[in-house]
Structure 1
Amino acid sequence: MSQLPGTLDIDDQADQTHEDERHAALAYLDEAWNEAVYDGLDEDCLAQAALFTAIRSMVATYGEEAAAGFAERLAERIRAGEYTIPYNRQ
């Protein structure tokens, strides 16, 4: 199906909505993380708690096999730099 420039089909709109929601979710989590660090919580403890909570939610939503498949691909994605935030020097 062809599209006019600058228009979105239904699937693209759903993808954009999910992308917007992911950005909003990340902003909420970043704010909560920063507050917890400011209150003196150790970032290692926060990371472990966040991973546990995320994986528990994925298992509840998608099942153990799907969550395990996601976890199996995580090392490769980390090594590929998907979770690395570029350092900007000013």
Structure 2
Amino acid sequence: MEHSISDIDAMVREEKRLTAVESHNEAWAEGLSAGIEPEIIAEAALETAFHEMLRTHGETAALALLDHMREKVVGGAFDPHRLRH
């Protein structure tokens, strides 16, 4: 089975995303085990993410990410009762 360049790029991007999620999950668990409240960990993670987006891609990209994440929240993407594949 042959894959197009866009298919390969998508697979690489997904692998990077999964690696990032794993790293963030580990950091989250370390913070919790250090006694840091989830709200503080979440705020720090978001501040870091938006600081980096602003620094590397500018305000438009940071606001686009914020809009995208808001849509995901409203759409139930983070609902703990939602089934994931």
TM above 0.5: yes
| Contiguous gaps of at least 5 residues in structure 2 | none
How many residues get paired? 83
Map of 1:8-23 to 2, 5 A cutoff?
A: 8-23=3-18
* Misfit runs of 4+, over 4 Å: none
What does residue range 9-88 of structure 1 map to in structure 2 within 5 Å?
9-86=4-81
Q: Displacement of 1:10 after TM fit?
A: 1.0
CA distance in 2, matches of 1:69, 1:18: 19
Greater percentage in helix: 2
Q: CA deviation at 1:82?
A: 2.2
Cα distance in 1 for partners of 2:18, 2:7 equals: 16
User: Which has the higher mean CA deviation after the structures are superposed, 73-82 or 26-35?
Assistant: 73-82
* Percent of aligned positions that are identical: 29
SS of alignment partner, residue 21 of structure 1? helix
| Structure (1 or 2) with the larger CA radius of gyration | 1
- Give the TM-score normalised by structure 2: 0.84
TM-score by length of 1: 0.80
